[in-house]
Amino acid sequence: MKTRLLALVLCCVFTFNYAQTDETVLKTIYSTSLTNGKSYDWLDHISNNIGGRLSGSTNAELAVQYTKTELEKLGLDKVWLQPVMVPKWVRGEKEMAYFEISGEISKVNICALGGSIATPNGGIKAKVLEVSTYKDLEALGTEKVKGKIVFINRALQTELINTFQAYGGCSTERYRGAAEAAKFGALGTIVRSLSSRQDDYPHTGSMSYGDLPVEKRIPSAAISTNDAVKLSEALKNNSNLEFYFEQSCQQFEDVQSYNVIGEITGSEYPNEFMIVGGHLDSWDLGDGAHDDGAGVVQSMDVIRLLKESGITPKRSIRVVLFMNEENGLRGGRKYAEVAKEKNEKHVFALESDAGGFTPRGFSFDCSDLMFSKVEAWKPLFKPYLIHYFEKGGSGADIGPLKNNDTVLAGLRPDSQRYFDHHHAANDTFEHVNKRELELGAATMTALVFLMDKYGTDTITKTKEIKD
């Protein structure tokens, strides 16, 4: 009886200490981020002193050099560049577009989609066929489509609480619209911007011609949500109106670029890797502060906050700043490829690529057993209003690491404002709130700390006890 009582008491003491310690560490992490974080200053530099960082651009290379230098200042065990060839697409002159009814011209705001070809010199002018999805084209057929500019006017579903779900429901229109319309002889495509807001900003993003031969490709642009409504209304009154657009974008040969990597080598399991990252490249219209400057600087601060909070990780923790998420994912693929070649065991990867907004939690791509382990940490996060722990999705850059042994996770910030700014000229530094950004960095650090401390094994690891 006495033995059982002692066991019970010991168990209580153990549980109590265990909980207290983690609570204290998380408090230190959050306080340090909010009172002595570096993420906001780094983002200021990346956004305002460098700016938009499209793969293959001078700005992208400036961001590589800057972040490498800043990581070197942190006194990590290793900092290096991982070479990767990336596509180089250049927007060229500012695009121009209008529609014309009986000689009266209404200007509209467009931008070329990333990967699109240019219009012929002097632009394209043609009648417009409005569809609500590219899937309508099959039924309309060549007869209706040929010689027209196809206007894909699909709005995000505003009633969805998760704006990423609303975005996902429309993103194929942007990605495949031109390739599909070209099959039926369209001259070009104009796609409604994938924005949650009614405003005048066109939102760019990647598109692909798939296996369409070069000579069949047609130019594709995004139109602002306000102008999509305006154009659609004008078409209701006059289906014969003519639309004009001109863009001079161009695809060049691939160029050399880099992922930027920093590492704290693990004290107990140096050959087990946990990575935290975001993507260094961005679209060119804004300064890419939310997408994904925020993820870059938060990831950098994770590794710094671990050090500042006096945490000595058992496993090797890497910050990985990926190149070319936006239009190729070459950085993410390269990192996974090299990891495989070197037989590096990656046990955990966390990405922040959903904006620098107030963090709400994480999504996980892992086994049910591992997810139960993670869910047990929820009470630790409650004081920080971190409540969202769900299975489903992580991040594009870490996706190529997916296998049964690697736990993948994505930071999930509040999503309501993200698609107001995503891929548009208003994705800029002043729309990032310092505290929200810092809370994200702290939340990521806390998860990395717990993953390292308790490991990702779901069968408890037993270490030999040495005298």
Cβ–Cβ < 8 Å for 156, 169: yes
Return all residues near 361 (Cβ < 8 A) that are at least 6 apart: 381, 386, 387, 388, 389, 390, 412, 443
| Binds its own copies by CB under 8 A, chosen from 31, 69, 256, 403 | 31
Does the protein bind its own copies through residue 240 (CB under 8 A)? no
Measured from the CB atom, the residue of 192 and 346 that comes closer to its own copies is 192
Cβ–Cβ < 8 Å for 129, 140: yes
Shortest distance in whole angstroms from residue 355 CB to its own copies: 13
Does the protein bind its own copies through residue 196 (CB under 8 A)? yes
| Binds its own copies by CB under 8 A, chosen from 439, 447, 450, 451 | 439
Q: Which of residues 35-54 bind its own copies (CB under 8 A)?
A: 35
Measured from the CB atom, the residue of 31 and 142 that comes closer to its own copies is 31
Shortest distance in whole angstroms from residue 387 CB to its own copies: 4
Measured from the CB atom, the residue of 100 and 436 that comes closer to its own copies is 436
| Binds its own copies by CB under 8 A, chosen from 384, 402, 453, 458 | 384
Does the protein bind its own copies through residue 414 (CB under 8 A)? yes
Query: Which residue is it, tokens 């969202």?
Result: 388
Return all residues near 464 (Cβ < 8 A) that are at least 6 apart: none
DSSP letter at 463? Answer: P
Measured from the CB atom, the residue of 248 and 358 that comes closer to its own copies is 358
Within a 10 A sphere around the Cβ of 106, how many other Cβ atoms? 15
Does the protein bind its own copies through residue 269 (CB under 8 A)? no
* Residue range at the interface with its own copies (CB under 8 A); choices 144-152, 208-216, 318-326, 382-390: 382-390
Query: Which residue is it, tokens 């700014």?
Result: 421
Distance separating alpha carbons of residues 267 and 132, to the nearest angstrom: 56
Please work out, in degrees rounded to the nearest 5, the angle formed at the alpha carbon of residue 387 by the alpha carbons of 292 and 165.
50
325 catalytic residue (yes or no): yes
Please work out, in degrees rounded to the nearest 5, the angle formed at the alpha carbon of residue 397 by the alpha carbons of 384 and 432.
45
Count of chain residues binding its own copies (CB under 8 A): 26
Distance separating alpha carbons of residues 206 and 409, to the nearest angstrom: 24
Measured from the CB atom, the residue of 242 and 436 that comes closer to its own copies is 436
Q: Which of residues 317-376 bind its own copies (CB under 8 A)?
A: 358, 360
Measured from the CB atom, the residue of 351 and 420 that comes closer to its own copies is 420
3-state DSSP call for residue 231?
helix
Does the protein bind its own copies through residue 385 (CB under 8 A)? yes
Q: Residue 181: is it exposed, middle or buried by C-beta count within 10 angstroms (0-12/13-18/19+)?
A: buried
Q: What is the phi/psi pair of residue 395, to 5°?
A: -155, 155
Shortest distance in whole angstroms from residue 351 CB to its own copies: 20
* Residue range at the interface with its own copies (CB under 8 A); choices 94-102, 143-151, 156-164, 212-220: 156-164
| Binds its own copies by CB under 8 A, chosen from 227, 420, 427, 452 | 420
Q: What is the phi/psi pair of residue 264, to 5°?
A: -100, 120
Pick the catalytic residue from 95, 130, 308, 325.
325
Does the protein bind its own copies through residue 229 (CB under 8 A)? no
Q: What mask, x for binding its own copies by CB under 8 A, covers residues 157 to 186?
A: -xx-x-x-----------------------
Distance separating alpha carbons of residues 286 and 144, to the nearest angstrom: 37
Shortest distance in whole angstroms from residue 368 CB to its own copies: 19
Does the protein bind its own copies through residue 214 (CB under 8 A)? no
Measured from the CB atom, the residue of 58 and 165 that comes closer to its own copies is 165
* Residue range at the interface with its own copies (CB under 8 A); choices 213-221, 255-263, 366-374, 414-422: 414-422
Question: What is 294-348 written as a DSSP string?
Answer: HHHHHHHHHHHHHHHTT---SEEEEEEEES-TTTT-HHHHHHHHHHHHTT-EEEE
Measured from the CB atom, the residue of 334 and 431 that comes closer to its own copies is 431
Distance separating alpha carbons of residues 44 and 46, to the nearest angstrom: 6
| Binds its own copies by CB under 8 A, chosen from 18, 383, 405, 457 | 383
Give how far Cα 361 sits from Cα of 100, 179, 292, 374, Å.
Answer: 48, 37, 18, 12
Return all residues near 193 (Cβ < 8 A) that are at least 6 apart: 201, 202, 203, 222, 223, 224, 225, 228, 424
What positions carry a catalytic annotation? Answer: 325
State the residues that interact with its own copies by CB under 8 A: 30-31, 34-35, 158-159, 161, 163, 196-197, 358, 360, 383-385, 387-388, 414, 416-417, 420, 433-436, 439
